[in-house]
Chains A and B, each alone.
Chain A
Amino acid sequence: QQQVKQSPQSLIVQKGGISIINCAYENTAFDYFPWYQQFPGKGPALLIAIRPDVSEKKEGRFTISFNKSAKQFSLHIMDSQPGDSATYFCAARSTGNQFYFGTGTSLTVIP
């Protein structure tokens, strides 16, 4: 059973456009929701994160929107750049600092 569902599987965006990736969860005990960025041959790197008592968090071009009642959260990448081309994972933290990851979104930003 997938604890965190992520969509779309892949995304192609023009340079300067907005990339949007969505995630949904069921377990209301999750208390921390990070997004990770992974380049080929590398491990995931923390990009931005949010707690469920906040509805939005912005860091530079990256914004997380969080809807607690709908149990959904999304990553928005503004002014997308070719260097943003990577795989993005949403995740949710359970008890004991155990993380459940989505299946990933492969983002390609076309120059």
Chain B
Amino acid sequence: ETGVTQSPTHLIKTRGQQVTLRCSSQSGHNTVSWYQQALGQGPQFIFQYYREEENGRGNFPPRFSGLQFPNYSSELNVNALELDDSALYLCASSLGQDEKLFFGSGTQLSVL
């Protein structure tokens, strides 16, 4: 069984740039959720993708967008980066609406 993998592990960008983060879901899982974890805080829900469509979104601006591909892998895109976007971005996969989430190790994004 393959776990959730995320790439890259670390990323440094400057304010105003755009970034794409990638996630491969656990084998057999068709739902991917993205969370932002600021330093010293709990993860905050960004959005969820199920069968290639966004089916839930947290309180994040439209410059946070995503995609899910037919193989259920997913991308998180952030445009016009701001300093406050510096955080650990976590991807979690699940089977449908099953409550058990399996998290990847995250991408640490630093915006300078």
| Interface residue ranges, A against B (CB under 8 Å) | 4, 6, 32, 34, 36, 41-46, 49, 89, 91, 93, 96-104
- Chain B residues positioned under 8 Å from A96 (CB to CB): 48, 55-56, 97
Give chain B's interface residues, CB within 8 Å of chain A: 4, 31, 33, 35, 40-45, 48, 55-56, 58, 90, 92, 94, 97-106
How many inter-chain contacts with C-beta < 8 Å in the A-B complex?
Answer: 61
Give the contacting residue for B97; candidates A42, A46, A97; CB below 8 A: A97
From residue A48, how far is it (CB to closest CB) to chain B in Å? 12
- For the complex, would chain A's binding face be called helix, strand, loop or mixed by DSSP majority? strand
Determine the chain B residues whose CB is within 8 A of the CB of A49 once the complex forms: 99-100
Which one of A32, A46, A99 has the highest number of Cβ atoms from chain B below 10 Å of its Cβ? A99
A68 to B7, CA, bound (A): 40
